Chain A
Amino acid sequence: MTVARFWRKIPQRYNLLGTRCETCGKHFFPPRSFCPECRRTGRIVDYKFKGTGTIVTYTIIHTASEQFEHLTPYVLAIVQLDEGPRMTAQIVCKADEIKIGMQVKRAFRRIAADGESGVIHYGTKFIPLE
């Protein structure tokens, strides 16, 4: 990923900055600038997510693409944020700890890197809320 492609989404990747439609109250992550419900009557504003959520489903990845190979096996899940939207993210926990319905909170983590001397991609993973 080029520096620009990564850099322009830093607020979203680091801090879960999304949007919210003031007309219908629906939250969006990743941010949408157009509400699918209210369409042109929607009023979109920035919204920073609390960062807490629940595991909807998960897997443990054993065979990964090159960038993530060194992490295997790692836990990947769909997390439903408390405000409603869902996102796909890694969960920092042991493979036998992960469960559907488990409460998690966001954590700032290293996600990947462009080789040994390239840009390090930081972003959001989730950790069990205990």
Chain B
Amino acid sequence: MRDVAVIGVGCTTFGEKWGSSFRDLFVEAGALALEDAQMSGEKIDAMYVGNMSAGRFIEQEHIGALIADYAGLATRHIPSTRVEAACASGGLAFRQAIIAVASGMEDIVVAAGVEKMTDVEPGASTDALTGAADREWEGFMGATFPGLYAMIATDYMHRYPLTREQLALVAVKNHYNGARNPIAQFQQEITVDTVLKSTMVAEPLRLFDCSPITDGAAAVIVAPLERAREFTDTPIKVLASAQASDTITLHDRRDISTLDATIAARERAFKMARVTHKDIDLVEVHDCFSIAEICAIEDLGFCKKGGAGKFTADGETALGGKIPVNTSGGLKACGHPVGATGIKQVFEVVQQLRGEAGKRQIDGATIGMTHNVGGTGGTVAVHIMGVL
């Protein structure tokens, strides 16, 4: 198996981008990534694109061909593949690109992610997202996505010491980071009060516990490590790529408040990278809801089960803390264009490892991790990257 490096990254701004179409978004992200790698598109051997639900959001399938075509590569006939795993689509697209290069099958591969969510009414997007859960036995029964995570929160707060204020601090911290990220959907700081006074969505979760509906795209280019310096002076090495699955429904999990797929993917990733928690300088976790970040910190092993509320309140996950979590602002403040999120996480970690993260830079960061979840934990992708 060959070593793989990230040689270029690009990301659109995230938000309600009424002026941009699905095609505009991925073309922009792809162009930014190519420019970053100082590479022309003709060098691309293959593409993987993470996209959850273009069929529901813009009534368009066959996304692989569409993106290759609009990237100007139709006449080159490169393999272009859509990857879908709900909110983990981007993380899996990145993993497929890594596997393609590591295997020796391809050399220069683009991993992209895109979602155009605001071309449908909010009710329709809520319903489309419910497809990440079990439509027959969760959605049909009246479950919503926030509702499922709210049931995790209820279970968690019943068993462990987590206060409503500590939960709000997850969103407060992520908005603080988002305010320092020029691509973030929300660049305003908020207070605990902002969260506690926001509209109730599914008790105990309020609007500011929830990630927003977002348009956006991100793209990264991977290559064999031995060729990386042809394109960039600052290649970032992929130290581990891990993926795990679990039951599609929340109710069938071994433990409602633990994502066993996160634990499995984390264990595989640490083993593959031959590093431990102490080596990780920052982590982008899947905070689709505030409670999801609480569970993620624990299931990734950065603090003990039940301890993430205090860990967050103590500032250990903030920019200057023991393990900075979601320096991009996370899904909450940076935004959550579902299929693009996993690639945006890689974009953020690469920026941090190159020292290009501006006001949210973690000084001397050398190893970073991404954690991307599909549904309520049916799929998890964990990646570890490091400077050379």
Question: Interface of A with B (CB < 8 Å)?
Answer: 1, 9, 30, 56-66, 68-69, 71, 74, 76-78, 85-90, 95, 100, 111-112, 121, 123
Contact = CB atoms under 8 A, between A and B. Distances in A.
Contacts of B233: none
Nearest to B150: A59
Nearest to A77: B151
Interface residues of B, number: 36
B202 A61 contact: yes
Interface in B111-170: 123-124, 126-127, 130, 136-144, 146-148, 150-155, 158
Contacts of A65: 123, 126-127, 130, 139, 144
B251 A86 contact: yes
B74 interface: no
Contacts of A58: 151, 154
B142 A71 contact: yes
A87 B137 contact: yes
A76 B154 contact: no
B200 interface: yes
Most buried by A among B127, B146, B202: B202
13 contacts: A57-B154, A57-B155, A57-B158, A58-B154, A59-B153, A61-B147, A64-B144, A65-B139, A66-B123, A71-B142, A78-B256, A88-B251, A111-B140
B140 A76 contact: no
Contacts, number: 101
A77 B158 CA distance: 14
Given A63-B146, A64-B142, A86-B251, A57 B151 contact: yes
A69 to B, nearest CB: 8
Contacts of A90: 141-142
B252 interface: yes
Nearest to A1: B140
Contact of B202 (A63, A111, A112): A63
B137 A76 contact: no
Contacts of B139: 65
B38 interface: no
Contacts of B144: 61, 63-65, 68
Contacts of B314: none
B203 A62 contact: yes
Nearest to A74: B142
Contacts of A89: 141-142
Interface in B199-245: 199-205
B361 interface: no
B249 interface: yes
Nearest to B156: A57
B250 interface: yes
A20 B250 CA distance: 21
A115 to B, nearest CB: 14
Contacts of B251: 56, 78, 86-88
A123 B141 contact: yes
Contacts of B153: 59
A50 to B, nearest CB: 18
A74 B142 CA distance: 9
